[in-house]
Amino acid sequence: MAVNATDSRSERALLVSVAFASARKAVSSAAAQARVAAAPRPGGELHDGDFRMEEFRELVTSAGAVVAGEVVQHRPKADPATLIGSGKVEELAGAAAASGVDLVIFDHNLSATQLRNLEDALPCRVIDRTQLILDIFARHARTREGQLQVELAQLEYMLPRLTGRGKAMSQLGGGIGTRGPGETQLETDRRRIQRRVLQLRSELEAVRRTRAQQRQRREAVPVPAVALVGYTNAGKSTLFNALTQRFGEPARRIGKRAGVVESARMFATLDPKLSAIYLASRRKVLLSDTVGFIRDLPHTLVTSFRATLEEVRKAEVLLHVRDASSPLRDEHKTEVEKVLGELDVLDKPRLEVLNKVDLLSADDLANAAAGETAILVSAKEGTGIDALMERIDAELMRDPILEQRFQIPQSEGDVLAALEAGAVISEREYEGNLVGMTAAGPASLLGRYRRFRK
Ligand SMILES: Nc1nc2c(ncn2[C@@H]2O[C@H](COP(=O)(O)OP(=O)(O)OP(=O)(O)O)[C@@H](O)[C@H]2O)c(=O)[nH]1
Ligand SMILES: [Mg+2]
């Protein structure tokens, strides 16, 4: 991979995180307790905030920067002008100047005003959590579509935050938060950015049309799709490789070469990847691996990556891969479900896969096995995989493919799009503003639109 943390050009970053009073609760999960016992800190027990800080650090290193210092502030609520309050800003400016850092990174999303005020007060560039995540996306986008999508999301996020940012603008063109996957640097004026946004949109449109055609060809033979979803670093790609190597097309089973990137870095996967696997029932399914989720993703970002997440929206079954060894595994689950809600896929059958069980103690393992209906696996060691395959089979058996007639008003664009996406359409005819069609697709999908049945 092109990313290299020990790169001599690595930027040095000062990390800022605010713990709001209500967020300071002790870690309760068993795995976290175990970790506390294993690694006691002088200051006492570890809190959720410590694990969030660890995640923040990992994000920063995944973006290729070096952590030069950390500032954690406790306050009851955000300061609208600067997030951290003017006193703390002064302190931060001193620390940034003393340590000569290249940038200050906030573990929060900043409003245009906050960003502007902070940039005025601090002697270096300032970036927020979303800009940091977009930067990592930019590094990991490999397909043209992925690259266009990231650049568009970056510009759209930047645009409302541009006003009066003289310093930031003159410094654009290098470093985290300013890097795009394409050659084009962020231009120095709003109008040029707007023009670039339009251009990106139309290029994306063209790329997507091609992909839609490929998909249509693929879907002429309906093969049920199973999508891996989950928090970043949960082990989706490792599981994808384990499954495709053991149950994939024979040619794929030969070596690891055909696999996807597994990496301890966050958001290693950005572009979706598909591969066929065969279940014990001999049913062929298309397995997809895609971008991971993370807490506090702004809604607009989820919308920008809708195309990347298309495979998730079309899947018959979702495999929610969870890192069983993470102290924040319950919080991660909530975050993943939030994003699934935004993608409108919460009603799809979903199997919980508790991964990395090789890292659990015998006690934790017993707890996990007793408390949940989850399937326990270790993608790395290959345990629990057969049971997982059986559960996928059982789930698909519950969702047979049906063929039904529909009559849908053309104004119901979402319904038409959803059927188009998840079913094979034939015998389409137009009558006034109504579209008549025969759709062959999973019962779960067709059932959702039963009000348009004919
Ligand atoms: N111990 C252990 N480590 C695992 C297991 N599965 C994955 N990992 C490790 O967890 C890290 C993340 O794995 P990936 O498969 O890249 O995770 P991902 O969910 O695809 O992550 P993103 O693509 O970044 O969202 C890697 O370092 C893997 O080696 C497992 O079962 N046990
Ligand atoms: Mg991955």
The pLDDT score that the predictor gives to residue 31 is 42
**With contact defined as beta carbons under 8 Å apart, do 389 and 279 qualify?**
yes
Mean pLDDT across 59-71: 93
From the CA of 261, how far away is ligand 1's center (Å)?
10
What CA–CA distance (Å, rounded) separates 57 from 358? 25
DSSP state of 42: T
Question: Which amino acid belongs to residue 75?
Answer: R
Q: Give the percent of the chain with pLDDT over 70.
A: 83
- 24-33, 128-137, 244-253, 323-332: which range is least confident on average? 24-33
Q: Give the percent of the chain with pLDDT over 90.
A: 48
What CA–CA distance (Å, rounded) separates 219 from 421? 9
What CA–CA distance (Å, rounded) separates 17 from 12? 16
Judged against a pLDDT cut of 60, whether residue 23 lies above it is answered with no
141 to 137, 145, 150, 280: CA distances (angstroms): 6, 8, 8, 34
What pLDDT digit, counting tens, does each position of 409-436 carry?
999 988 898 888 778 888 899 999 999 9
From the CA of 260, how far away is ligand 2's center (Å)?
7
Indicate the average pLDDT of the chain.
83
What pLDDT digit, counting tens, does each position of 156-199 carry?
888 888 754 444 444 445 566 665 544 344 445 677 888 899 99
The pLDDT score that the predictor gives to residue 22 is 60
DSSP string, 362-381: HHHHHHHHHH--PEE-BTTT
The pLDDT score that the predictor gives to residue 32 is 41
Structure tokens at 233: 């670093």
Residue 398: how many other CB atoms lie within 10 Å = 12
**Which atom of ligand 1 lies nearest, measured to the CA of 293?**
25
Judged against a pLDDT cut of 50, whether residue 104 lies above it is answered with yes
Q: What is the pTM of this model?
A: 0.78
At 253, the pLDDT band (50, 70, 90 cuts) reads low
366 CB contacts (<8 Å, ≥6 apart)?
none
Handedness of CA 55, 56, 60, 63 (dihedral sign): positive
How far does Cα 295 stand from its chain's mean position?
A: 9
Judged against a pLDDT cut of 50, whether residue 133 lies above it is answered with yes
At 145, the pLDDT band (50, 70, 90 cuts) reads confident
The pLDDT score that the predictor gives to residue 257 is 52
Judged against a pLDDT cut of 50, whether residue 378 lies above it is answered with yes
At 318, the pLDDT band (50, 70, 90 cuts) reads very high
The segment with the largest mean pLDDT, out of 81-90, 150-159, 424-433, is: 81-90
Q: Which of 240, 229, 416 is nearest to 312 (CA)?
A: 229
Neighbour order of strands in the sheet with 12-20: 66-75, 12-20, 103-106, 125-127
Structure tokens at 350: 């979903």
DSSP string, 293-344: B-TT--HHHHHHTTTTTHHHHH-SEEEEEEETT-TTHHHHHHHHHHHHHHTT
Q: Which of 237, 308, 321, 353 to mutate to test the pocket of ligand 1 (most atoms within 8 A of CB)?
A: 237
The pLDDT score that the predictor gives to residue 220 is 60
At 221, the pLDDT band (50, 70, 90 cuts) reads low
Q: Which of 64, 69, 63, 53 is nearest to 13 (CA)?
A: 69
From the CA of 7, how far away is ligand 2's center (Å)?
23
Q: Which of 3, 61, 139, 262 to mutate to test the pocket of ligand 1 (most atoms within 8 A of CB)?
A: 262
For ligand 1, whether the C-beta of 269 sits within 6 Å is: yes
For ligand 1, whether the C-beta of 264 sits within 6 Å is: yes
H-type helices in 171-295, by residue range? 190-219, 236-247
For ligand 1, whether the C-beta of 378 sits within 6 Å is: yes
The segment with the largest mean pLDDT, out of 377-381, 409-413, 446-450, is: 377-381
What CA–CA distance (Å, rounded) separates 180 from 175? 10
Looking at the CA of 243, name the nearest ligand: 1
211 to 149, 214, 247, 429: CA distances (angstroms): 14, 5, 26, 25
At 24, the pLDDT band (50, 70, 90 cuts) reads very low
Cross-strand bridge partners of residue 430? 435
- Ligand 1, atom 10, residue with closest C-alpha: 235
For ligand 1, whether the C-beta of 260 sits within 6 Å is: no
Q: CB-side exposure of 242: number of CA atoms within 13 Å?
A: 20
The pLDDT score that the predictor gives to residue 453 is 92
Query: What phi-psi label fits residue 75: left (phi over 0), alpha (psi between -120 and 50 degrees) or beta?
Result: beta
From the CA of 233, how far away is ligand 2's center (Å)?
7
Sequence-ordered strand ranges (E) for 58-181: 66-75, 103-106, 125-127
DSSP three-state, residue 288: strand
Judged against a pLDDT cut of 90, whether residue 309 lies above it is answered with no
DSSP three-state, residue 61: helix
From the CA of 357, how far away is ligand 1's center (Å)?
12
**With contact defined as beta carbons under 8 Å apart, do 356 and 390 qualify?**
no
| Domains delineated in the chain | 12-127 (3.40.50), 136-216 (no CATH), 222-397 (3.40.50.300), 401-452 (3.30.70.240)
From the CA of 330, how far away is ligand 1's center (Å)?
17
For ligand 1, whether the C-beta of 324 sits within 6 Å is: no
Looking at the CA of 230, name the nearest ligand: 1
